[in-house]
């Protein structure tokens, strides 16, 4: 068993060795994420469009699989119509996203706005609960900021599109930097063996 771990096959030590040998792939993934993040932060509208494209592709593929599941259920005399209906709805949503990407982006902004308002209200209520934690004012403040953000997104969805693009960009940059740091740690691990 110790021999397997030393040769790089089997167990956590083996997985780490495989990653270390391919540190460059992790670094490449990190570099691509950083580049994408910079582009998304600089051009937030493009990030949203790509998010809409990914959503459309997912809905179209998922719709086809749901219809196939419905056909298979019908062949086995099972309940086929829920699958088929889901497939049709998924494909319709995907086609709408392809035909009107701007509308899809606005709908995404409204979903984020509703999420921000609901979670903000929950945070404020947690801050005023009888068993509130120490520093509950931070929960209230965070909740009020979240509600305000949701209201701004509903009132000015274009601002929401830009903000979501920036968030995607910032996340991608942070994720890419973490991957790059991890890749160079893996490289150092490989050379220490």
Q: Which residue has the higher pLDDT, 66 or 164?
A: 66
Q: Which residue has the higher pLDDT, 113 or 131?
A: 113
CA dihedral 38→39→42→46, nearest 10 degrees, is -140
Q: Is the pTM of this model over 0.85?
A: no
pLDDT in tens, 37-55: 898 888 887 778 888 888 8
Contact (CB, 8 A) for 9 and 182: no
Nearest in space to 166 (alpha carbons), one of 186, 154, 189, 149: 149
Query: Average pLDDT, whole number, for the chain?
Result: 83
DSSP single-letter state for residue 55: H
Q: pLDDT grade, residue 5 (50/70/90)?
A: very low
What pLDDT does residue 7 have? 44
What pLDDT does residue 19 have? 66
Q: Is 98 exposed, middle or buried (0-12, 13-18, 19+ CB in 10 A)?
A: middle
Q: pLDDT grade, residue 95 (50/70/90)?
A: very high
Q: Which residue has the higher pLDDT, 147 or 126?
A: 147
Q: pLDDT grade, residue 1 (50/70/90)?
A: very low
Distance of alpha carbon 113 from alpha carbon 151, whole angstroms = 7
Q: Averaged over 160-180, what is the pLDDT?
A: 87
Whether residue 9 has pLDDT greater than 60 = no
What pLDDT does residue 16 have? 63
Q: Averaged over 71-98, what is the pLDDT?
A: 89
Whether residue 12 has pLDDT greater than 80 = no
pLDDT in tens, 131-168: 766 677 887 898 899 899 899 989 998 888 888 888 88
């Amino acid at each position: 068993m110790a021999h397997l771990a030393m040769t790089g096959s089997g167990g956590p030590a083996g997985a780490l060795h495989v990653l270390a040998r391919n540190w460059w792939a992790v670094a490449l993934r990190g570099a691509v994420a950083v580049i994408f993040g910079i582009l998304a932060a600089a051009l937030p509208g493009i990030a949203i469009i790509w998010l809409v494209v990914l959503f459309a592709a997912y809905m179209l593929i998922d719709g086809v699989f749901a219809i196939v599941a419905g056909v298979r259920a019908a062949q086995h005399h099972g309940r086929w119509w829920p699958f088929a209906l889901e497939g049709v709805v998924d494909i319709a949503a995907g086609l709408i996203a392809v035909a009107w990407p701007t509308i899809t982006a606005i709908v995404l902004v409204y979903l984020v706005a509703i999420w921000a308002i609901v979670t903000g209200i929950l945070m404020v209520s947690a801050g005023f609960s009888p068993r509130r934690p120490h520093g509950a004012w931070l929960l209230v403040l965070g909740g009020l900021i979240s509600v305000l953000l949701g209201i701004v997104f509903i009132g000015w969805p274009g601002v929401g599109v830009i903000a979501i693009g920036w968030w995607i960009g910032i996340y991608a940059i942070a994720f890419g930097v973490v991957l790059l740091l991890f890749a160079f740690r893996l490289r150092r691990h490989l050379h220490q063996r």
